[in-house]
Structure 1
Amino acid sequence: MTSNRTVSRVGVAAVGAYVGAQVVADITSVKIGTVFGLAVDMGTWIYPITFTLRDVVHKALGRRAARTLVLTAAAVNLAMAAYLQWVARQPSDPSYTLGNEFAAVLGPLWRIAVASILAEIASELLDTEVYHWFVRRVTTRYQWARVALSNAVSVPVDNVVFAVGAFGALPFLKEHPLTLPWASVWSIFVVNLAVKGAVSALSLPLIYLSADRDWQTDPHDA
């Protein structure tokens, strides 16, 4: 039988991996690359793993811990974006010749950063509730199924919030340089959804890193 200490260690490791993946995804999302000639933000290749990592934390440490993790990661990403922008705006020492390059690469695009953070909060909290509903109301068997269902619901929500928030012609952002025609936004949505769905599916085995908890008696999951 797996000890509580082992479960806690897995939970802590999943927390660290989750926050790390969130930070890397937010940094790399400022670059728009191509997949088969179609636009995709490059954070899409790592971000979907966070949905399954969130499930591992939920399984090992409970729903309250998972909610706290989501909000904490969002705060970390927001603080990171603000700090990077402050650093980018500081004058470079005369001996340092890469100040402009640093600012161009790591000075965050606030519209993308904010859209990404809002998408993370909305989708990951939704993932928490769907996952919890499944184990409390449906079954505690078929652990892959609880992850697959929660990811299937939350990934599209994340995708639409990000695509519309970052690139959509919203009434107050029509003149923003990142605003794209709705056809282009739809293309980004479709490609990102396909990539996120594939990466999310590949990450499903991570849920078996931790032993399951007693969902019916744990007061922290009521």
Structure 2
Amino acid sequence: MAEKDIAEKGISRRFWIDKTQATIMLCGLYLFFSLAGNIAATKVTYFGSLVMDAGFIYSLTFTWRDLIHKQLGRRAAITTIWLAAAINLLAALYFQLVVLLPAQADWANSGGQTAWTFLFGILDTSGGSWWQSIFSLQMRIVLGSILTALIAETIDTQVYHFWIGGIGAKLPQWTRVFVSNAVSIPVDSILFPLIAFTGILGVDALVQMFWTNITVKAIVTLLAFWTIYLVPERPIYKD
């Protein structure tokens, strides 16, 4: 009996994690979904008749934010949202610095510099007015994605918080995901096209982009809502 207790303690100790490790794992994956989604969004793809960017992995941030909120609390969720915004902004600025660095001739002649400038150049260096450089399409996309994420994810946080503090406390956990996403996803899908493409795309194109984003993110929510059960209500860590 004593040997069994010792063995069980050894197993539990082997898989034991502290709060710092739990924070790194949960928040680290959120940051990955956010950064990878924004980078992948530079490619345009299609799903059936729907034309969209390839950054659909970003849609997982809404559901994964719920896991962070559930396990670490509202302050941790908000901190992670702001950290993701800062990382995306710093990454965009660093990529612009890389664009401005002199390119090796063979690499540039093979199309590397052109491709890198097209994908990650956020400043217009063609010699136009200063305001054209600052408000270039690439810059608007970067700022649009960051501002949209801050607003939509903060709304997601507040809706989730009010839901679990009210009627949602007695309902299945998956309702938290659907209720918070049902509010934050439309906000995200409306704001980003308006900030990034107003004056560039027509009204019909903006409306189509809105419905495409709604459809894709709704599908991702349906596929990923079960992840709320990956962590229990009680902490997965020991202080």
SS in 2 for 1:33: strand
Q: Does 1:101 align with 2:80?
A: no
- Structure 2 residue corresponding to 1:91, chosen from 95, 102, 108: 102
TM normalised by structure 1 equals 0.84
How far is 1:95 from its partner? 4.9
CA deviations on 1:159-212 (whole Å, 9 max, x unpaired) are: 00011111123xxxxxxxxx1001011001111110111101211111111111
Distance 1:48 1:23, change over 3 A: same
Unaligned runs of 5+ in 2: 1-11, 123-137
SS in 2 for 1:48: helix
Equivalent position of 1:55 in the other structure? 66
- Alignment partners' CA distance in 1, 2:85 and 2:76: 14
In the TM superposition, structure 1's runs of 4+ consecutive aligned residues that sit over 3 Å from their partners are 5-11, 94-97
Equivalent position of 2:161 in the other structure? 132
SS in 2 for 1:52: helix
Unaligned runs of 5+ in 1: 170-178, 215-222
Alignment check: 8 A CA contact 1:11 1:56 kept: no
Equivalent position of 2:214 in the other structure? 193
Structure index of larger Rg:
2
How many residue pairs get aligned? The number is 202
Equivalent position of 2:145 in the other structure? 116
- Alignment partners' CA distance in 1, 2:83 and 2:49: 36
How far is 1:100 from its partner? 2.4
Alignment check: 8 A CA contact 1:52 1:200 kept: yes
Q: Does 1:81 align with 2:79?
A: no
Distance 1:84 1:30, change over 3 A: same
CA deviations on 1:117-142 (whole Å, 9 max, x unpaired) are: 11100110000000010111123241
- Alignment partners' CA distance in 2, 1:6 and 1:138: 32
Alignment check: 8 A CA contact 1:7 1:60 kept: no
CA deviations on 1:51-82 (whole Å, 9 max, x unpaired) are: 11100000110000000000110011011111
How far is 1:157 from its partner? 0.3
- Alignment partners' CA distance in 2, 1:105 and 1:187: 23
Q: Percent identity?
A: 35
Question: Comparing 125-134 with 137-146, which one deviates more in the overlay?
Answer: 137-146
Distance 1:196 1:183, change over 3 A: same
- Structure 1 residue corresponding to 2:183, chosen from 147, 153, 157: 153
How far is 1:91 from its partner? 1.0
Aligned AA (2:154): L
SS in 2 for 1:46: helix
- TM-align CA RMSD: 2.0
- Alignment partners' CA distance in 2, 1:168 and 1:33: 21
